[in-house]
Amino acid sequence: MSIGGAAIRIRPLLLGVLATSFSAGAYAQSSVTLYGIADAGLEFLTGAPNAQGKASHLLREESGGVKSSRIGFKGAEDLGGGLKAIFQLEGGVDITKGKSLQSGRLFGRQAYVGLSSRYGALTFGRQRVPMYDFSVRYDPLDYNIYGLKQTDGQFTGRADNSVKYRGSVGPVSYEALYSTGYDATIPNGGQVPGEFKVGREIGAAVQYASGPFSAMVTYDLRNGTSIATQSGKEQHLAAAAMYKIGKAKAYLGYRWLSSTLPLDSSTQGHANEFWTGLEYRVTVPLSIAGAVFYTDITSASQRPIYLAATAKYALSKSTTLYTEVGYVKNSNGSNLGLNGYDTDIVAGHNQTGVMLGVIHYF
């Protein structure tokens, strides 16, 4: 009886503990979301280097034709008074090989934690730079595998060891970032005691959006990743606008680049880029887009021209079929390929590409 009596007395205690736990969880109102994108297709390219380095044709399966494949977690906890704790962990995946992207980082796309309120959000970790966050909205091709992001790596720039603030007031949104070492995979690219410029990155952006019109300006500065090059600067300034007319969206943009850092085969000293394009919603499931990107690399007297078009057909809210075509005309030995500078292209050769694929959001 005593054992049974003890059991009877313990049950109310356990129920009380559980009730308190559920009550605390309900008050905190925490939430965690698992999400991802799976995107793959077949790509055909001309002008790709063969084993002897000569221009040849390439047929392959490629990951991320429309959006880079990824898997992630994001969450928030209501701390009361409009204040929330937020976090996001997101890793890029090469779906054709099942391996991590972004130099093998587990959460290479984004990994941050911070606080948000009606005054904005302050976050810490590996994060997208403002040039990425704001420019993505002004690519007529929606940052597909062919398009704006391939003409300059900083259009998809991310920074390790960064603190970022973002907010908005009415039709104006803004963002600022500071990194003490934007790429921790580079020797001395993280933080070096006493050398505060090594690997430093500073970025800012502002956007105005009202009705059918929106426009943005963004600036990005990176210092060298060694003690010897820390005074060198790589600077980007981009401005773009978009106007919606019925089912169509028209885009216009400009990017200025200046670098005093040591150059490699895929780095430019000074360049100006201009782009324009149009996106059109033919029917509810079908959309098409086209764009032209012209770059004047003044430091090398090269002027590559990049043309691309896409068509997407939504089978559902989660699954879409797509096709992309692109053409690059290189100039004076320039090495711009449809997948970026010095990527799957023999310098000085033109390139044509076609990709067919499927993307699924979950």
pLDDT tens by residue, 285-333: 999 999 999 999 999 999 999 999 999 999 999 999 999 999 999 999 9
CATH of the domain at 345: 2.40.160.10
Return the H-helix or E-strand segment holding 4.
Answer: helix 2-28
Tokens of 347: 């310098």
CA distance 146 to 132: 16
Return the H-helix or E-strand segment holding 136.
Answer: none
Q: How many independent structural domains does the chain possess?
A: 1
Which own/partner pairs from 238-243 qualify as long-range (CB within 8 Å, at least 24 positions apart)? 238/131, 238/135, 239/215, 240/135, 240/138, 240/215, 240/216, 241/138, 241/213, 241/214, 241/215, 241/216, 242/137, 242/138, 242/213, 242/214, 242/215, 243/212, 243/213
Q: Is residue 132 within 8 Å of residue 166, measured between CB atoms?
A: no
When mean pLDDT is compared across 14-18, 111-115, 221-225, the lowest value belongs to: 14-18
> Which domain, by its residues, includes 155?
2-25+34-361
The three-state secondary structure class of 206 is strand
Q: What is the pLDDT of residues 150-195, one digit of tens each?
A: 999 999 999 999 999 999 999 999 999 999 999 998 876 667 889 9
Greater pLDDT, 4 or 204? 204
Q: Is residue 236 within 8 Å of residue 154, measured between CB atoms?
A: yes
CA distance 39 to 306: 23
